[in-house]
Structure 1
Amino acid sequence: MKALFIGGTGTISSAVTELAVQQGWELFLLNRGSKPVPEGCQSIIADITDEAAVAAKLQGMQFDVVADFISFTASDIERDIRLFADKTKQFIFVSSASAYQKPPRHYKTTESTPLVNPYWEYSRHKIEAEEVLQKAYRDTGLPITIVRPSHTYGNKKIPVAFYGAGGSWQIVERIKQGKPVLIHGDGTSLWTLTHNTDFAKGFVGLMGNPAAIGETVHITSDEVLTWNSIYDIIGDALGKRVDKVHVSTDFLVMCRPDLQGSLLGDKAECAVFDTSKIKRLVPSFTATKRFDQGVREAIENFERHPDWQRLDPEFDQFCDRVIEVQKSAAEQIRQRLNMNC
């Protein structure tokens, strides 16, 4: 079986790439060549946005599966249809579970949950891209499968709710130093984290699977945690107690408008998934990596790579300032109430 991945070296796709090769797939990766191609894969160096160049590179090639991990908009998918409609028996689009209705009307999400996210443009673009594919499936029989990952992490990613430009390591540093850590809301909303090796098991099981044609499916763990628990588990992996400071999500977004999508339109809401569909399509699928195991491995991996440990003084100052302002506001209100008594 022969597959082409657009991308193939990111957090999600790298784990899929590794497992597909292990299972005997003849795998080609199409990317710009900025990262080394994993062993066992063949490289096609091209920029997917250069449609003519990609078409020339792929001339005469046919695949059982083409999977695009890096398309985000309807125009990206329209380009993919032009490039791959006649070259594959299955086209897999990696969408996003953030496309599901926000705020949700029910705590558990199924694949039939409406797609609407008024807070995050990224999610709306993914919805529009899905609509293009669904139309192509209805009108021309394009053999599509749509996959919606939720919050997926691996050994090169420590998952947290939000961070600064330097990534999540600064939060690890704050926990190590005993500094308070910001948590949105009261920290009790439910969230699902999925290790990329578990995601890969579901994804590879969909590849070349005739039952998956025309289907949309999310691939997630069944482990559901509160954000308080998530940060406590990270603290346990570091051998530290986490000093949690809860701050209104609305206030955080007012302070940092860039958080509207990823926080207000995603991580501030409950994310609990019905995984019966992926288990029906891929009967062997089960997520086995607990978060406490996965995050401990990720932290140990970061500690072996000091060059990954990006400090972020600006985000550190942001956290300190928000905590200071919240304490100051509370103190002022207490003083005014005492004056009025």
Structure 2
Amino acid sequence: MKVLFIGGTGLISTAASKLALQQGVELYLLNRGRREGFVPEGATVLHGDINDRAAMKKLLDGRHFDAVVDWIAFKPEDIERDVELFTEKTDQYILISTVATYQRPPSHYLFDESAPQHNPGWPYAVDKIACEERLLRAYREMGFPATIVRPSHTYGETTIPFAVTSGAHPWTLIDRIRNGKKIIVPGDGTSLWTITHNTDFAKGLVGLLGNSQTLGQAFHITSDEVKTWNQYLAVIGQAAGVKPDAIHMTSECISLFLPEFKGGLFGDVSNSYVVDNRKIKAFVPGYQATTNFERGIRQSLVYFEARPELQTIDEELNARMDKMISSYESFLAGIN
């Protein structure tokens, strides 16, 4: 099977790239050559800018792929471009979307793939909804071979996931825990949440490649594991060897001090819901997420502890969180 990944060197896509190659897929990665060190052995790199349509048409001339996966489509114009470039060039086009497209706050705790999509408070989700709508229109009107995949919160050994933390400097969370600093948890910490390891996501994604029965449909690829934020933090603390000191704040309060978190808090992590993944199991027989969070987060810590150069701290965010916590505690003390 010949497959093209647009991107293919990011957190989620790298795991899928490795598994696809292990299963004998003839894998091509389209990128601009800025992350060559992340290309898995056995993949063929096609150097090109997906947004340069003229150059892309020359690059794709005479090529055909059993499947194309776009990992970096975030706006409807990206879909418009891909439909133009890959019509008659592939038998299956997979858009990586997100469960963040679903209604917030949810009207029902359990989401399957037919749940209403409406999340107007978060531009990222709004754009992903528009991407899906444009792609499905191409499927309906011209038979473009569209498949949609909606991951939940997905991580790997190079990340340390949590609700309020630094994405660019993941070690910041562990540093705060080990230094006895308070960890900000949204709400009372009891919101239900699904976090999936990238190696488990890869099983579902690779299992969908080349399956013509997926066309026109959407799929969740998630773990069966559901925990609260309090539970996730406790597991991270156990892996770090220190019991975390949690401080619970409303999403409104957090957003006042850290406005960059507002979209994700209100549009995703502060909502309690469970993602139904029965459909992927029906289409990919044997699909099962096997890396639970206890094992996955320990793998992440082993990865970082073996690489001191990656143990960087987001000092600016750290200072803002400390100021926020101090202000919040002073406010509470003033009430008594």
Q: Per the shorter chain, which TM-score range?
A: over 0.9
Deviation for aligned residue 1:59: 1.0
Mark the runs of 5 or more structure 1 residues left unpaired by the alignment: 335-341
Instruction: Tell me the equivalent position of 1:29.
Output: 29
Do structure 1's residue 17 and structure 2's residue 17 form an aligned pair?
Answer: yes
Matched, 1:172 2:148: no
Partner of 1:2: 2
Q: Name the residue aligned to 1:229.
A: 231
Q: State the match for 1:51 in structure 2.
A: 53
Task: Spell out the pairing of 1:1-341 with structure 2 (5 A cutoff).
Answer: 1-36=1-36, 37-164=39-166, 166-334=168-336
8 Å Cα contact 1:253/1:264 also seen in 2? no
Paired residue secondary structure (2:259): coil
Question: 2: distance between equivalents of 1:280 and 1:165?
Answer: 34
Contact 2:164 2:184 in 1 (8 A): no
| Distance change >3 Å, CA 275–CA 10, structure 1 → 2 | same
Distance 2:213 2:242 in 1: 47
Rounded Cα–Cα distance in structure 1 between residues aligned with 2:210 and 2:49: 25
Q: 1:254 Cα deviation (Å)? A: 1.6
1:332 deviation in Å? 1.1
| TM score, norm. by length of structure 1 | 0.96
The CA deviation string for residues 82-117 of structure 1, in whole angstroms up to 9 with x for no partner, is 000110000000011111111101111110111111
Deviations 1:200-238 (A, max 9, x none): 000011000122111101100010000001011000001
Which sits farther off after the overlay, 183-192 or 210-219? Answer: 210-219
Q: What 5-or-longer segments of structure 2 have no aligned partner?
A: none
Distance 1:164 1:174 in 2: 11
Aligned-residue offset at 1:162: 2.2
| 1:12 partner amino acid | I
Measured in 2, the distance between the counterparts of 1:133 and 1:332 equals: 54
Q: Which has the larger radius of gyration?
A: 1
2:154 is paired with a residue of what secondary structure?
strand
With structure 2 as the length reference, what TM-score do the two structures score? 0.97
Whole-Å separation in 1 of the counterparts to 2:61 and 2:307 = 41
Answer whether contact 1:193 1:220 (CA < 8 A) is retained.
yes
CA–CA separation in structure 2 for the residues paired with 1:158 and 1:278: 26
User: Are 1:164 and 1:314, in contact at CA under 8 Å, matched by a contact in 2?
Assistant: no
1:338 maps to what in 2? none
**3-state SS, counterpart of residue 258 of structure 1:** helix
Moved more, 239-248 or 252-261: 252-261
Distance 2:240 2:79 in 1: 42
* Counterpart Cα distance in 2 of 1:26 and 1:271: 38
Shift of 1:195: 0.3
Q: Is the 8 A contact 1:165 1:312 kept in 2?
A: no
* Sequence identity (%): 48
Task: Give how far 1:118 is off.
Answer: 1.6
1:279-314 alpha-carbon deviations (Å, 9 max, x no partner): 111111010110000010011101111222221111
Residues 1:288 and 1:244: Cα distance change in structure 2 (over 3 Å) = same
1:165 touches 1:315 (CA, 8 Å); kept in 2? no
Quick one: which amino acid aligns to residue 24 of structure 1? G
CA contact (8 A) 1:169 1:311 kept: yes
- Contact 1:15 1:197 survives alignment (8 Å): yes
Distance 1:166 1:24 in 2: 33
1:165 Cα deviation from its structure 2 partner: 6.6
